[in-house]
Amino acid sequence: MTSPMLGARERSSSTGRKGMGRFASIGLITSLVCSAAGTASAQTDSAGARALFQEGRSLMEAERYEEACPKFEESLKLDNGIGTQFNLAHCWEKLGRTASAWALFLDVAAAAKADNQEKREAAARERAKALEPRLTRMRIDVSEGVPGMKIERDQTVVGKAAWGSAVPVDPGRHVIEVTAPGKKPWSDEVETPATARTFTVKVPALEDAPVDTPQPQVASAGAGDAPVEATLDQGPRGGGGMSGQAVTALVVGGVGLAAIATGTFFAIQSRSSNDSALALCHSPDPTSPTGEGCGSDEERDDHAQYQEDAKNERLYGFIGFGIGGAALVTSVILFVTDSGSSGSASSFEVAPLLGSGIQGASISGHF
């Protein structure tokens, strides 16, 4: 006779086995459905890749390489086949993308070797070897490396190990961008022709980036807060440094001294020119048109030129003395009237006066 407890356990065990069987069946069905879906998806991708491959082959036979290459590239996204890679490398070579074609031929050779396709491996290596003498290379030399420096060529990061190495690149336009923390970014644009040469891009030492000075934060008073008054210390009004008017006085004084020195130079030069004129024609000659006793027409012309120079230099000397004297007087006035107050600004203007019988300068301003 079976005990009630044993019967209960047997029934429970039987029920559990039936449940496990149902779960196993459901799992198997799910697995088969997913497998079938995956196979259908793979077949769809394979079909699309094959169609794009055939289009690329047709375009390449018609020598329409610019249209053919994108077909092979899209086909590779759907099915990464060795044959598609080989055809894409050939297409890139026809477009002049020698470095990309060379690298892809080597990838094809490696994949073919792993798949025991000896003929395809040999063909790919032969094509890559034929391209090597035609490769254009670029070397990026860094003058001064800094922590965190990043170099990009055509938006692709160039690893530090590749700095200073001649790396194959496709002919054409290349953009080099360099950044580093706390430094100004640097960039350069290089146009590399289709030639077997190595082009060097020199990255200079990066300049320090300007430091942003934080602006003072002004706390706004709340509705219930009492207004806060602040007193700004403007510093002592006198004795704490030269005022603007005092600085102006020094500048005006310097201008005055320079003007007097210039006037003195021209006065001396005028006397020298006058002495040279007298040395040429010093005795009066009533028969001469100018009344001067000159030995020849050449001496008479030189005499007239020296006299003209002396007249002009004397005029410049007077102007220099006039401006210099006026500027010195103005400088003294500015010093005397300076009270150290910054409440008003002083200005002045010195202008030469030239006219019939008038030689000097005028000064205007307010203090």
Higher pLDDT, 177 or 2: 177
Rounded distance between C-alpha atoms, residue 56 and residue 66, angstroms: 10
Asked if 203 contacts 140 with a C-beta cutoff of 8 angstroms, the reply is yes
Name the domain boundary from 133, 163, 195: 133
Q: Is 315 helix (H, G, I), strand (E, B) or coil?
A: helix
Q: How confident is the model at residue 269 (pLDDT cuts 50, 70, 90)?
A: confident
The predicted pLDDT at position 89 comes to: 95
Question: Quick one: pLDDT at residue 249?
Answer: 75
pLDDT one-digit tens code per residue, 338-361: 765 444 445 555 555 554 454 555
- Please report whether residue 336 resides in a domain: yes
d(CA 41, CA 37): 6
- Please give the backbone phi and psi of residue 353, each rounded to the nearest 5 degrees, phi first: -115, 120
Q: Compute the Cα dihedral for 125, 128, 132, 137 and give only its sign.
A: negative
Q: Is 201 helix (H, G, I), strand (E, B) or coil?
A: strand
pLDDT at 364 (0 to 100): 57
Give the DSSP H/E element, type plus range, for residue 363: strand 358-366
Q: Please state the rounded mean pLDDT for residues 134-154.
A: 94
Lowest mean pLDDT among 101-110, 191-200, 339-348: 339-348
Helix, strand, coil % (nearest 5) of the chain? 55, 15, 30
Total number of domains constituting the chain: 3
Mean pLDDT of the chain: 76
Say whether both 300 and 271 belong to one domain: yes
pLDDT score of 362: 56
Asked if residue 9 is part of any domain, the answer here is no
Q: State the residue range of the domain holding 337.
A: 244-366
Query: What was the pLDDT predicted at 342?
Result: 44
Longest dimension (CA), the chain: 175
Domain boundary among 113, 133, 153: 133
**pTM over the 0.85 mark:** no
Asked if pLDDT for residue 365 goes beyond 70, the answer is no
DSSP string, 156-187: EE--GGGTTS-EEE-SEEEEEEEE-TTB--EE
- Helices marked H in 165-296: 244-280
Residues facing residue 190 across a β-bridge:
174
Same domain, 326 and 281: yes
Please indicate whether residue 118 or residue 12 has the higher confidence score (pLDDT). 118
Question: Are residues 355 and 274 both part of a single domain?
Answer: yes
Q: Do residues 123 and 59 share a domain? A: yes
